[in-house]
Amino acid sequence: MNNIQKALENGQSIWLDSISRDMLRSGELQRIVDLGVTGVTSNPTIFDKAISESDIYDEALIEYARDGADRQTIFERLAVEDIRDAADVLRSVYDAAGRRDGFVSIEVSPTLAHDTDGTIAEARRLWAAIDRPNVMIKVPGTPAGVPAIKTLISEGINVNVTLLFAIKAYLAAANAYIEGLSEFAKTGQGNPGSVSSVASFFVSRVDTAADNALPEGHELRGKVGIANAKLAYAEFNEMFDRKPGGGGSFFPLHTAGAQVQRPLWASTGVKNPDYPDTMYVDGLMGPDTVNTVPEATMNAMLDHGNPGAALTEGLEGARAQIDALGRAGVSLDAITSDLLTAGVKSFADSYETLLGRIEAKLGLLKV
């Protein structure tokens, strides 16, 4: 077994944080799935890279522009096609996993991060356009995103909650899933186990921000991101308690066949070259989780990763590290708040860059 397959055996799914039409047509995505990867995530930056580095989209760009579509509509049509095709590649994984894995994620427009109704409307439209059961719609875990998550889950739409940095935001996302799933179950629309969700908790960006706030050589440098994630994982285990007699609000749903909302570790490419390149894979391995990795991290994991159960160990040490961060004069609450603001802006900026890329390509193609 390779390290991706060992991770799956340990209860963690590895998803690839990349997609392109070239990967789909060349068979590269199928090769990666054959290695054990069980999902794919996308965002505007990934699509921008795919469109800028290849001419494989040119024919479709010309066709859609001649149809009179604006650049937003052109992008959505391109993205829907790629996500649908990727979902078809992963459908066998989805079926074999009993609808618990094998997903492809697509993001609502980042410009809707503070617009609940707009997020719901776009998520519904994307869900209907792609028309695949193994798709997740990415919704930011902002205050406006939380009620959208509840509504979408209550309608049986799979949701990948993104841009989670703070424990408080994670808890809000998890509660929205449980409340939405409870509503879905009451309506009798179907088996609660048919609805899936992950909560994408960002890691390396937390370390970057904490490291910048700490003195050179401080013992907490490179420790805060994983410690924060371990505390979120502890909250997950408490909220989604499935032991007989579990008293949490999820337990009745569990007995009806509902799935847990798995924590997904995002931003797990190592940004500091002084840190091991598999740090956020090895350090966050544990049951009922997903790790979405860029291709370079996936290859590093295959080559020299160390699959185990590090996520289930050292919880008290993680609490001590977060406490020590406060004593060092660094506020984790301030860091996570700033990261959410910056993350929303970064995603929106990437979206505008992508639309500009499409416009520039159309100019070069003389459409």
Record the pTM: 0.96
DSSP 294-327: -HHHHHHHHHH---S-GGGS-HHHHHHHHHHHHH
Q: At 237, which amino acid appears?
A: N
Contact 110, 350 (CB under 8 A): yes
Asked if 351 and 111 count as a contact pair (C-beta separation under 8 A), the reply is yes
Residue 358, pLDDT score: 95
Q: What angle do CA 235, 237, 239 make, to 5 degrees?
A: 65
- Triad 94, 97, 101: Cα angle to 5°: 55
Per-residue model confidence as pLDDT tens for the chain (367 residues): 999 999 999 999 999 999 999 999 999 999 999 999 999 999 999 999 999 888 999 999 999 999 999 999 999 999 999 999 999 999 999 999 999 999 999 999 999 999 999 999 999 999 999 999 999 999 999 999 999 999 999 999 999 999 999 999 999 999 999 999 999 999 888 889 999 999 999 999 999 999 999 999 999 999 999 999 999 999 999 999 877 766 678 988 998 999 999 999 999 999 999 999 999 999 999 999 999 999 999 999 999 999 999 999 999 999 999 999 999 999 999 999 999 999 999 999 999 999 999 999 999 998 7
Contacts of 141 (CB under 8 A, 6+ apart): 149, 161, 162, 163, 164, 169, 170, 172, 173, 199, 200, 340
Structure tokens at 273: 């070259």
CATH 3.20.20.70 for domain 3-364: yes
3-state secondary structure 237-289: HHHCCCCCCCCCCCHHHHHCCCCCCEEEEECCCCCCCCCCCCHHHHCCCCCCE
Residue among 180, 195, 185, 204 at smallest CA distance from 293? 204
Residue positions annotated with a catalytic role: 138
The Cα 350–Cα 48 span in angstroms is 8
| Cα–Cα distance, 259 to 330 (Å, whole number) | 37
pLDDT given for residue 246 in this prediction:
62
Domain boundaries, the chain: 3-364
Buried b (16+ CB within 10 A) or exposed e, 10-39: bebbbbbbbbbbebbeeeebeebbeebbbb
- Encoded amino acid at 117, one letter: D
